């Protein structure tokens, strides 16, 4: 069930009404949210609901098993075992085909038969997100940061439909207390929720869909048929497409949860205003970044075991972070590029520190230069992220060198304006969004309704017929 559809609008209207009717009855409210979340997930394929139930049960059993231990070492060992058990479904559904095909290609190269059967395994929507949430729940119990929730609360926590299929990745300490307590309808920030939902719809339905259809999909689909200028603009365009698509989903998810009385963490903070790749990961998919830091990078040793080991830990984290996004060598390459960039960035910071120079850009010119360089490094990574294969990625990059004599009919003023406008919004100091939101919140209810109607009309008029699934549904 996609957010920008009539099906979801009807579904959410029912959930919203029943949730607040049942608000005085906590147990009934939780059961209703759980059933509604399973219906939401079953909309894609009801046969896969059992997988979500299984992961939830393993997480709860693992948390209870971990809690019984008095010693931290024993809790940590059991948390590792439980985490590996939680990873098994993800490995099977998401990575079996990738590893089996990679092994088959390697064995065929030396004249041997494939060691594993090649199977077509369907990837369940959202499995990466709720698996990571389940692991964080068990590990946080082992670290004594939270105590195991009741079975019902734990199942609601993992299945809650706003975050279920594409995040944000919400920690137990953030969401479980909210599930337990009674909601106060008087404290719901309806204007902020409406602003987030409509802003997310505009980013997804209008901006992302327009750029994807007008230039990104044609160029990446057949790079040899397009000019160097079209290729360059398509790369910039994809940077905007994936940002508006994913941050649009996140905005809608946060807004929907807010209408039900739940606060989700921020997941994006002007990522294309980053001055380094390290800074980018403090701004892009923030809940995944902190998950990788707290449950992978820090347990590996973080930056406490010398510079060589730190570089290795950074590379492992980013390579696995790339593989998390998809079972393919293009995602490994994308993660590797970001890992190398961060290792080089750390080396550069240490060198500047030894020379007594500022670690971060100090002047406006230096900030602008750092942003431009960082943005183009990010775009280089997006080429591999978007391309269907390593070969296709190099075909795209090759056109940047060889295709300057070709016509560029896809580079229209509207395409350039959409890309430039989104980049400008991210790089100006004091983005207008908070000002618009505050102004909207001060309007009378009738005027708010009229404003919402105008924006919805604009979205439906400017958007295409039918909306493509969100990009991160594949992950």
Q: Say how far residue 49 (Cα) sits from the centre of its chain.
A: 22
pLDDT in tens, 123-159: 888 899 999 999 999 999 999 999 999 999 999 999 9
Higher pLDDT: 175 or 327? It is 175
pLDDT at 430: 61
How would you class 397 by CB atoms within 10 Å of its CB: exposed for 0-12, middle for 13-18, buried for 19 or more? middle
- Give one word for 89, left, alpha or beta, with left for phi > 0 and alpha for psi -120 to 50: alpha
Domains of the chain by residue range:
19-187, 190-275+393-465
3-state secondary structure 21-40: HCCCCHHHHHHHHHHHHHHH
Whether this prediction's pTM lies above 0.85 is answered by yes
DSSP 273: G
How crowded is residue 318: how many other Cβ atoms within 10 Å of its Cβ? 26
Structure tokens that stand for 221 in this block: 């689909």
Count, residues in the chain:
475
Q: What is the mean pLDDT of the chain?
A: 89
Helix axes 49-67, 72-90, angle to 10 degrees: 170
Give me 314's structure tokens. 């950074």
Q: Are 83 and 138 in contact (CB under 8 A)?
A: yes
pLDDT recorded at residue 420: 95
pLDDT recorded at residue 432: 67
- Three-state DSSP string of 366-408: HHHHHHHHHHHHHHHHHHHHHCCCHHHHHHHHHHHHHCCCCCC
Contacts (Cβ under 8 Å, ≥6 apart) of 424: none
The pLDDT tens digits of the residues spanning 317-359 come to 999 999 998 888 999 999 999 999 999 999 988 888 888 888 7
Q: Per-residue b/e over 87-123, b at no fewer than 16 CB within 10 Å?
A: bebbeebbbbbbebbeebeeeeeeeeeeeeeeeeeeb
Angle between helix axes 26-42 and 6-21 (nearest 10 degrees) is 170
Q: What is the mean pLDDT of residues 25-44?
A: 94
Q: Which residues are known to be catalytic? A: 325
- Whole-number Cα distances in Å, 206 to 132, 316, 431, 466, 467: 31, 37, 20, 11, 10
Number of H-type helices and E-type strands within the chain: 23, 0
Per-residue pLDDT averaged across 253-261, rounded? 94
Angle, CA of 335, 264 and 42, to the nearest 5°: 80
Report for 74-83, 352-361, 412-421: range of highest mean pLDDT: 412-421
Question: Cα separation of 1 and 8, whole Å?
Answer: 6
Q: What is the pLDDT of residues 157-166, one digit of tens each?
A: 999 999 998 8
The Cα 454–Cα 277 span in angstroms is 39
Phi, psi of 121 (to 5 degrees): -100, 125
Q: For residues 30 and 156, is the Cβ–Cβ distance under 8 A?
A: yes
- Calculate the CA 423 to chain-centre distance: 19
Backbone angles phi, psi at 282, to 5 degrees: -85, -10
């Amino acid at each position: 069930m996609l957010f920008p559809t009539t099906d979801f609008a009807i579904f959410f209207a029912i959930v919203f009404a029943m949730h607040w009717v049942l608000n005085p009855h906590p147990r009934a409210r939780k059961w209703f949210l759980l059933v509604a979340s399973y219906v939401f997930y079953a909309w894609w394929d009801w046969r896969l609901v059992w997988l979500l139930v299984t992961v939830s049960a393993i997480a709860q059993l693992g948390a209870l098993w971990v809690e019984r231990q008095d010693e931290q070492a024993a809790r940590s060992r059991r948390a590792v075992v439980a985490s590996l058990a939680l990873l098994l479904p993800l490995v099977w559904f998401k990575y079996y085909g990738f590893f089996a095909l990679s092994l088959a290609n390697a064995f065929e190269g030396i004249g041997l038969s494939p060691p594993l059967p090649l199977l077509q395994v369907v990837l369940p929507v959202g499995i990466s997100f709720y698996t990571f949430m389940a692991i964080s729940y068990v590990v946080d119990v082992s670290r004594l940061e939270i105590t195991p929730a009741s079975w019902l609360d734990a199942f609601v926590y993992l299945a809650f439909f706003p975050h279920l299929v594409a995040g944000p990745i919400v920690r137990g300490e953030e969401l479980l207390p909210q599930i337990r307590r009674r909601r106060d309808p008087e404290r719901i920030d309806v204007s902020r929720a409406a602003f987030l939902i409509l802003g997310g719809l505009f980013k997804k339905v209008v901006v992302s869909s327009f750029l994807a259809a007008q230039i990104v999909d044609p160029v990446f689909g057949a790079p040899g048929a397009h000019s160097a200028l079209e290729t360059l603009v398509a790369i910039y365009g994809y940077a905007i497409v994936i940002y508006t698509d994913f941050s649009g989903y996140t905005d809608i998810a946060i807004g929907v949860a807010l209408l039900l009385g739940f606060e989700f963490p921020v997941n994006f903070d002007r990522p294309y205003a980053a001055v380094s790749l390290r800074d980018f990961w403090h701004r892009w998919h923030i809940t995944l970044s902190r998950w990788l830091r707290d449950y992978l990078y820090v347990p590996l040793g973080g930056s406490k075991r010398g510079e060589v080991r730190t570089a290795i830990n950074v590379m492992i984290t980013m390579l696995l972070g790339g593989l998390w996004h998809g079972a393919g060598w293009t995602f490994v390459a994308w993660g590797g590029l970001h890992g190398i960039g961060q290792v080089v960035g750390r080396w550069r910071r240490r060198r500047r520190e030894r020379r007594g120079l500022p670690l971060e850009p100090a002047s406006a010119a230096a900030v602008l230069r750092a942003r431009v360089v960082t943005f183009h490094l990010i775009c280089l990574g997006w080429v591999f992220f978007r391309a269907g294969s390593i070969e296709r990625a190099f075909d795209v990059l090759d056109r940047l060198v060889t295709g300057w004599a070709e016509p560029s009919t896809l580079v229209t003023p509207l395409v350039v304006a959409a890309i430039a406008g989104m980049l400008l919004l991210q790089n100006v100091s004091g983005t207008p969004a908070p000002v618009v939101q505050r102004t909207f919140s001060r309007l009378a209810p009738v005027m708010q309704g009229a404003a919402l109607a105008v924006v919805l009309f604009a979205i439906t008029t400017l958007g295409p017929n039918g909306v493509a699934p969100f990009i991160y549904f594949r992950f």
